[in-house]
Amino acid sequence: MKTLIKHVVIDNQCQDILIIDGKIAKVARGIETPVDDLINAHGATAMPGLIDVHVHFREPGLTYKETIATGSAAAARGGFTTVLAMPNVKPVVDTAEKMKSQVALNAENGLVKVLQYGALSEDLVGVGPADLQAMASAGAAAFSNDGHGVQDAQTMLSAMQAAKAADRVISAHLEDDTLIQGGVMNAGPSADKLGLPGMTGLSESTQLARDLVMAQATGVRYHVAHISTKESVAQVRLAKQMGLNVTAEVSPHHLFLDDSMIITDDPMFKMNPPLRSKEDRQALIGGLLDGTIDMIATDHAPHSPEEKSGSMHDCSFGIVGLETAFPLAYTRFVKSGLVDLETLLTWMVKNPKEAFDLDQAGLLAVGDAADITLVDLVHPYEINPKDFASKGENTPFAGEEVYGKVLKTFVDGQVVYQAKKE
Ligand SMILES: NC(=O)N[C@@H](CC(=O)O)C(=O)O
Ligand SMILES: [Zn+2]
Ligand SMILES: [Zn+2]
C-alpha cells in the first residue's frame, strides 16, 4: 500500500511524504510516483504524531465517562498518535492477567496506539508492590499508581527495584494523604476568598523528596506525573544535576492557569494536583524552558456532566485535555514567540518517546512509522466542548480562541481523523 501526501510544510519547506506499508519511505519536494492513495495537504503543516504519556480512558468499568474508542478518537482529533493509559479503571490493572486483557482491549478498540500502565500496588491502595515483572511480560509499557500517591515507602522502594529489573519507567502521582486535609483547591488567597478548603503543595514535594532518595538508591527510571509546585521543580533540577534517571511532565492546565484565575466556585477548575499559585506556574514554565521538565502530558481525565456540576466541594477531580493541548500550547508558546514549533514538538513527541522508549512512535524520519499530524497554523478557531470526540466536556478552556487546528491524523499511514470541511 502506497500513499503520497502532497504539499505539506515541514520546517518552513514545502515537501511531499511518501508512505509505503505504514512507514515513511521518502520525504522530499515534488515526489512523482504511482500510488494507491494521493492526498493533497494544500500547504498544511506536517508534524510527527503527538505523544501523551498520561491519559485516562475509563474502560473497563467507568465507560459512562469515556471508552477506549472515544478516548482514542479524542487523541486522534487532538493530533496524538500514541498515548499511555493509566491503570485506574475498574477493576484496576494490577495483575498480569488484567494487563493481558487490557492490552488486548486497547489494541481492539484504540484508534491510535494505546499503551498501558500497570498499577504499582493492588487496587492502587494496597501495601506491598504488585507483580511488576509479570505485568511487564504481559505488555505493561510502564507503571503508575496514578490517582493515588503511594503512602508506604517500602511499597514504593520494592516497586522501584522491580521496575528497574524490568527496565520500565515508574510515573509517580505524588500525594501524601496526611497532608491533604480535605482540600479541593490550592491553599491560598483564592481558596480563602471562595471559602473552599485548601491543600498545600507539601503533599507533593515531601513525597517527591522521599522518592528521589529511593530513585537514586535503586537507579530506577523515575518520572514525575503532573508536576505542579516550584519546590518540585527545584528538586527535579537538583536530581538531574546529581545524575539521577529522572524525568518530569507538566500538564497544559498547570502551565496556562493558576489559582488566581479561579474567581467562582467552578467545577471545571477542580483537578488533582490543583492549579497552584502564579509563582508555581512561572516556575513550571521556567522548568520546561531550561529542560528540568521534559514534556507536556495532558492528564486527560474525562468525567460526566453530573460529576462536574455543582460546587468544587463535592465534584470529581480532573479535566479533559487531549483535544485542547496542542492548540493551547501552540498558541501560548509558539504563536506568542516564546519558543519555536520544533521546541514544542520536543516536549510533545521527542522527549516522551525517548523517556518511555516508545519505539512504535514515529518522528517523520525515513523508516519510521507513518504517524503524522497535519495542522492549520494560520486560521484561529474557538474551543467548543460540543465538538469533542471525547465523552468528557469538562474543560476550563471552552470559548478560548486558539491556533493549531488538527486537520488530519495518520497512524501507521492510515487516516484516523479528518476535520470536517467548514
Ligand atoms: N487528575 C485528576 O484530577 N484526576 C485523575 C486522577 C489523577 O490524575 O490523579 C482521574 O483519574 O480522574
Ligand atoms: Zn495523578
Ligand atoms: Zn492522571
Residue 273 inside a domain? The answer is yes
Q: Find the mean pLDDT for residues 98-117.
A: 98
Same domain, 8 and 88: no
For residue 84, how far is its CA from the centre of ligand 1 (angstroms)? 14
The x, y and z cell numbers of residue 275, run together, are 492549579
Contacting residues for 332 by C-beta, under 8 A, at least 6 apart: 255, 256, 338
CATH code at 18? 2.30.40.10
Are 228 and 241 found together in one domain? yes
Residue where a domain terminates, one of 324, 355, 386: 355
Structural domain contains residue 134: yes
Asked if residue 422 has pLDDT above 90, the reply is no
**Nine cell digits for residue 210:** 522521599
Candidates 108, 76, 78; CA nearest to 414 is 76
* pLDDT for 421: 78
- Asked whether residue 250 falls in the same domain as residue 171, the answer is yes
Atom of ligand 1 nearest to the CA of 270: 3
Does 282 lie in the same domain as 151? yes
| Coil, helix or strand at residue 38 | strand
Pair (150, 12) in one structural domain: no
Q: ipTM value of the model? A: 0.99
- What pLDDT, in 10s, does the model give residues 12-25? 999 999 999 999 99
Q: Tell me the catalytic residues.
A: 299
Together in a domain, 218 and 205: yes
Do 158 and 253 lie in a common domain?
yes
Task: Give the range of the structural domain holding residue 404, as residue numbers without chain letter.
Answer: 2-46+368-418
What does each C-alpha distance from 135 to 31, 59, 77, 90, 355 come to in angstroms? 45, 18, 30, 17, 19
Q: Count of domains in the chain?
A: 2
Tens digit of each residue's pLDDT (9 = 90 or more) over 199-241: 999 999 999 999 999 999 999 999 999 999 999 999 999 999 9
Structural domain contains residue 363: no
- Identify whether 209 is part of a domain: yes
State whether 24 and 111 are in the same domain: no
**Which residues' Cβ are closer than 6 Å to ligand 1?**
56, 88, 146-147, 173, 271-272, 299, 301, 317-318
